[in-house]
Amino acid sequence: MTDRRWVIEADRRLIDTELREALRFGRDVPARLAAAMRYAVLGPGKRVRPMLALEAFRAAGGRNLAAVLPFCTGIELIHTFSLIHDDLPSMDNDDFRRGRPSLHRKFDEATAILAADGLFAYAFELFVQAPGPAERRLAAIRLICHAVGPSGMTGGQMMDVAGKSKVLAIQRKKTAEFIAAAVVVGAVLGGAAAATQRKLRQAGLALGMLFQMTDDLLDAEQASEAGRATMVSTCGRARTASRAESQARRAERLFRALGVRYRVLAGFPGLVLHRKS
């Protein structure tokens, strides 16, 4: 295992520990709701978004991990919230998620909706309780709100449901914007300059589009994907693979241009491009 892979695996273990700790609720949270939230979050997951935030924080010069880990945790909670909604019968109507029954199948639809709502709200509770300069925390929260709000993830889901928009536009809003936000949030909390933040956003957007394209390639053979508008169904496998490689090169180039401190982030595009799940 390369040094970079070792760092990424260590990040994943750290984030998993933080998630388990955050989801240890007291008696004030109904037991069924707590169980559903834990089931959704603590199952198999790549933790890409929180790892990106963590590594961007380090690259920007951040030292006190207590300032960024609540954001890493909350970002993963929001990501899980979005997956729960995606799987609902009124959305994609998926029976499985990450090799297990989706939340509304494991529990029920009402519990799934409430668990998603709880995860979303709890994420912001974690954000505001994080230590560190208030102006950095507020800037980071604003980035997250924009990425998941009506002009970001929520708007992208509406476009997807309506089925009248171009696939690339939907994927940018649903996936790429939040991945880019995770990168920039870490940099903001670490004290990165505005010019660096702008460059990281461009790298994050390229990485986010790459991530969705590789998702589409991996999912293309699944029966549940039949009839859905994806890059593969729109452009074909070969063209999607070519575009994914192009986005990987762009993301890596943009990360590397920021210097040696961003070398771990520069390794993510290659890992995403060649992932098997």
Q: What is the mean pLDDT of the segment spanning 29-41?
A: 98
Percent of the chain topping pLDDT 70 = 96
Provide the pLDDT for residue 226. 57
Tell me the mean pLDDT in the region 175-194: 98
pTM score? 0.95
pLDDT in the model for residue 42: 96
Residue 277's pLDDT band (cuts 50, 70, 90): confident
Summarize the confidence of residues 212-218 as an average pLDDT: 94
Classified as helix, coil or strand, 259 is coil
The answer regarding whether domain 3-273 maps to CATH 1.10.600.10 reads: yes
Domain boundaries, the chain: 3-273
Q: Is the model's pLDDT at 223 over the cut of 80?
A: no
d(CA 153, CA 106): 25
Quick one: the chain helix, strand, coil %, rounded to 5?
Answer: 75, 0, 25
Q: How far apart are alpha carbons 40 and 29 in whole angstroms?
A: 16
The model's confidence at residue 1, banded by pLDDT at 50, 70 and 90, is very low
Q: How many helices (H) and strands (E) does the chain have?
A: 14, 2
Residue partners of 90: CB distance under 8 A and separation at least 6: none
CA dihedral 175, 176, 178, 183 (to 10 degrees): 140
**HSE-up (13 A, CA, CB side) for residue 66:** 6
Rounded CA gap, 156 and 175, in Å? Answer: 9
In this prediction, residues 184-209 reach a mean pLDDT of: 98
> Exposed, middle or buried, 150 (CB in 10 Å: 0-12/13-18/19+)?
exposed
Residues whose CB falls within 8 Å of the CB of residue 19, separated by 6 or more in sequence, listed in order: 41, 42, 73, 76, 77
Mean pLDDT of the chain: 94
